[in-house]
Amino acid sequence: SAVISQKPSRDICQRGTSLTIQCQVDSQVTMMFWYRQQPGQSLTLIATANQGSEATYESGFVIDKFPISRPNLTFSTLTVSNMSPEDSSIYLCSVDYPQGTDTQYFGPGTRLTVL
């Protein structure tokens, strides 16, 4: 399986600030995904990020709030902008790996608390 790392693993932030979460994978992958898991809830897909194109956002998520970068085939960032306490969640990235098998592998997650 792919080895996926996320930075930071956790953070506590003040409302109104922004946090950028990094996702690094040890293999080149076409598709990377960002999910949110609110406290006590299941995972919700935020957006899909393909290298070289704009991210595709799911209903209820907008680029201004969650800008995503995908500069190469092994790296992506998700920024949570102008945070409020409602953004307190675990944010997870995943990758489509091995390519062509349509199986996703997940990173360890970033636990965000907004005060």
Partner 1 sequence: DAKTTQPTSMDCAEGRAANLPCNHSTISGNEYVYWYRQIHSQGPQYIIHGLKNNETNEMASLIITEDRKSSTLILPHATLRDTAVYYCIVRSYGQNFVFGPGTRLSVLP
DSSP per-residue codes, 45-92: EEEEEETTS--EEPTT--TTTS-EEEEETTEEEEEE-S--GGG-EEEE
Q: Is 58 in the site for partner 1 (CB under 8 A)?
A: yes
Identified binder of partner 1 from the candidate list 24, 27, 65, 111, rule CB under 8 A: 111
CB of 114 to partner 1, least distance (A): 18
CA distance linking residue 2 with residue 15, whole number of Å: 34
Please give the residues from 12 up to 51 whose contact with partner 1 meets the rule CB under 8 A: 42-45, 48
Q: Is 65 in the site for partner 1 (CB under 8 A)?
A: no
Rg (CA), the chain: 13
Q: Interface residues with partner 1 (CB under 8 A)?
A: 1, 4, 42-45, 48, 58, 92, 94, 102-109, 111
